[in-house]
A = this chain, B = another copy of it.
Amino acid sequence: MTTEFDLLQQLRSIATDPAARGLLDDAAVLGDLVLTHDTIAEGVHYLPDDPPASVGWKLAAVNLSDIAAKGAVPAAALLSLTLRGDGEWEQAFLDGLAAACESYGLPLIGGDTIALPAGAPRVLGLTVVGRSDGRVPARSGGQPGDALWLAGTIGDSAAGLQLLGADPRSTGVLVDTYRRPVPLLAAGRALATGASAMMDVSDGLLLDCARLAGASGCGADLDLDALPLSSAFVAERGAGRAARLFAATGGDDYALLAALPAGLDPFTLSLPADARLTRIGTLAPGSGLALHDSGGAVPLPERLGHEHRTS
């Protein structure tokens, strides 16, 4: 029996080049290039009745979020497209992908299109290449005492997905955020100039924060009350401890988590005017995650996020 963990160990034993960053980062870094690839499968990463244009948008956006987390500028994409049935789904998927490419200046320059056997779930992949003209913060550069900052809000997407689970015809801001996340490219570029560590929040803030702290050889202390929630999220689920724990573990946020040296005021960086930047905690000596709110220490939930990715 080979487990997913065994496979990841095997991949790490192959990917020994420094550019791979031990397969522990959002992206590979080859000179001034930042490279990432995400693959999604029907029924695993998206729902068969999700609008295909939104699936195309999201595939581009999640890859761009990895590029954003390294402070890079989108340079090129290669698409792996499967074709099944009459192609109408794929046509709408491409419309959504093209819209995201146009919105974020990402040229599609190649890829492959293959036919699938009837009934096989679609599998869609995108490689995105970015370019950096400066620092490319790793997950592992954090130091005890660094402040943890979050760009963006959390919980919207997970709340949107729950609404869709209750009623597939649900609409609104939260559903939109689940279907069409926005990669924080400009915020990422600004934060990268000062961050000692950075990553995007895709699998749940608590899990991703534990990963950043772990990679940096630190612990982390988070203030649950400080977590930035959107007004749409608060209107739907409130802002109490349960809602905040839901938001902190829901995933699919594509917010950016940055560790900044204690003396650095991020508002001195060239952040975009609409950036929502919030201090949510601190890296600490030692290891492990600690949570608190105004009521004192908060026990960690059993599940910190989605452990579905192996690289």
Q: How large is the interface on A (under 10, 10 to 19, 20 to 34, 35 or more residues)?
A: 35 or more
Interface residues of A in 52-95 (CB under 8 A from B): 75-76, 78-83, 86-88, 90-91, 94
What's the nearest-Cβ distance from chain B to residue A70, in Å? Answer: 12
What's the nearest-Cβ distance from chain B to residue A87, in Å? Answer: 3
What's the nearest-Cβ distance from chain B to residue A7, in Å? Answer: 6
Is there an interface contact between B83 and A39, defined as CB atoms closer than 8 Å?
no
A247 on the B face (CB < 8 A): no
In the complex, which of the residues A27, A86, A110, A111 has the most CB atoms of chain B within 10 Å of its own CB atom? A110
Which applies to chain A's interface (DSSP): helix, strand, loop or mixed? mixed
How many angstroms from the CA of A263 to the CA of B26 in the assembled complex?
A: 51
- CB neighbours (8 Å) of A23 from chain B are 110
In-complex Cβ contact of A14 among B35, B98, B113, B123 (8 A): B98
How many angstroms from the CA of A145 to the CA of B296 in the assembled complex?
A: 83
A43 on the B face (CB < 8 A): yes
- CB neighbours (8 Å) of A303 from chain B are none
Given contacts A2-B88, A114-B123, A120-B121, 12 further A-B contacts (CB under 8 A): A1-B86, A4-B87, A7-B90, A14-B97, A14-B98, A20-B107, A35-B127, A37-B125, A45-B114, A112-B125, A116-B121, A120-B120
13 A–B contact pairs at CB < 8 A? A1-B88, A4-B115, A11-B94, A11-B113, A17-B108, A19-B109, A35-B127, A37-B80, A37-B127, A39-B112, A83-B310, A112-B125, A114-B308
